[in-house]
Amino acid sequence: MHPGGVGVESMGEWEIRPRIDVEAGGKGPRRRRISDEAARPAGLAQASLAAPHGIRLWYGAKMKSILRAAPLLWLAGCILPGGGPATRFEFMESHMGTLCRVVLYAGSPEQAREASRAAFRELAEVDRLMSDYREDSELSLLCRAAGRGPRRVSDPFWVVLSASKWYAELTGGAFDITVGPVVRLWRRARKERRLPDRAELEEAISRVGSAMLSLDPAGRTAELKKEGMLLDVGGIAKGYGCDRALAAMARMGVPVALVDTGGGMALGDPPPGRAGWRIQIGEEADGMMIISRCGVATSGDTEQFVEIDGRRYSHIVDPATGLGLQHGALVTVVGPDGTSADALATAVSVMGRDRGLKLIEELPRTEALFRWKEGGRRCRAQSSGFAALLERAQAAK
């Protein structure tokens, strides 16, 4: 389990250990000032999981080898859409720079293998299109064309760019995929264990700003207005990949599944005969959830950070200052899907506790938990509906 993150605990005779999972419904009464329709990135139509070009809610568009396929549970009497009794399978492959896991319930080993292959194909495709480590990725090609006019982009990349632009506006720039020039400086800083030069940092910041990312829905083109701009979609692409993988399995008649890419996860229907997936948040005292049909992401500097001159800097960069975050908080966001949870976990980390939770309170079907240490004491703050997720777990014991 990710240190300080989220994991699944044993529940009697069955057990899985994804990092995070989540359920949309069942919260207590809440006041939300932003409706579900308004909380959808502009220009992206609502789509069902079964739609060929749609990810649950508003995310649409198209998006090897099996390391492990282990049926761990037989639940007699539980029937999946394919007609067979539900058996639990788990598969793992490396994609997007991390070990990804698919857990699913299928009517046969053949159905499970085909569904998992479809899920991993989606993750591989997102990585192929949007990795900034690949010189031939669509993202890299767009960056090399910065300052040279618009460039037509694929449907999956368009969805991520559009959603990213929307979240930049929603968060006042706390989430900004144009932060790439600054991120590159901090990658070097972590390697060399020295702060970026101030002049270098200021020059890099001059190439950051979502206003310089122009999107044309009619032509499906994207343009980086200033030469030297660089994109970094690390705060949203994995969540989007999880959503696409989950949707691919659902289209194949396997809706009971989860996809885990390390710091984020998307979940389909709960396991047969269960209210949801049983989730441990960090240490035991942090709480347990039973949840499904959503996305979750945890953001923080538990694993990726650098200490320079006695100060700890996170890999998460504030686009406004160009500096790595120093507050040391872990933020877990429960959202309608993997894409939204991923983007908001990054944004809320940058915004900080007070501003971040204020935003979360305005969004439908979204909750957040902050955890940090202060003077050796463990502290936490959460959105008003987060406790209801924990209460359901207590009631299930």
Q: Which residues touch 231 (CB under 8 Å, ≥6 apart)? A: 132, 139, 142, 143, 177, 178, 180, 213, 224
Picking from 256, 289, 251, 253, the residue whose alpha carbon sits closest to that of residue 273 is 256
Quick one: which H or E segment has residue 386?
Answer: helix 386-396
| Residues 335 and 366 sit within 8 Å (Cβ to Cβ) | yes
Q: pLDDT higher for 11 or 349?
A: 349
Lowest mean pLDDT among 52-66, 109-123, 248-262, 277-291: 52-66
Q: 3-class SS at 280? A: strand
Say which amino acid occupies 282. Answer: G
pLDDT band at 175 (very low <50, low <70, confident <90, very high): very high
| Residues 18 and 103 sit within 8 Å (Cβ to Cβ) | yes
Alpha-carbon torsion 188, 191, 192, 196, what sign?
positive
> What is the arithmetic mean of pLDDT over 165-177?
96
pLDDT for the residue numbered 128? 97
Lowest mean pLDDT among 149-158, 183-192, 222-231, 288-297: 183-192
Q: Give the chain's domains with CATH numbers.
A: 6-131+236-396 (3.10.520.10)
Quick: pLDDT tens for 103-146: 999 999 999 999 999 999 999 999 999 999 999 999 999 999 99
| Residues 374 and 202 sit within 8 Å (Cβ to Cβ) | no
| Residues 115 and 106 sit within 8 Å (Cβ to Cβ) | yes
CA-CA-CA-CA torsion for 228, 232, 237, 238, nearest 10 degrees? 150
pLDDT band at 262 (very low <50, low <70, confident <90, very high): confident
Q: For 275, which DSSP code?
A: S
Please indicate, yes or no, whether the overall pTM of this predicted structure exceeds 0.85: no
Picking from 327, 326, 366, the residue whose alpha carbon sits closest to that of residue 345 is 366
Q: For 47, which DSSP code?
A: B
Does the pLDDT at position 79 exceed 90? no
Task: Report percent pLDDT > 70 for the chain.
Answer: 69
Q: pLDDT higher for 373 or 370?
A: 370
Residue 223 in tokens:
């343009």
pLDDT for the residue numbered 25? 35
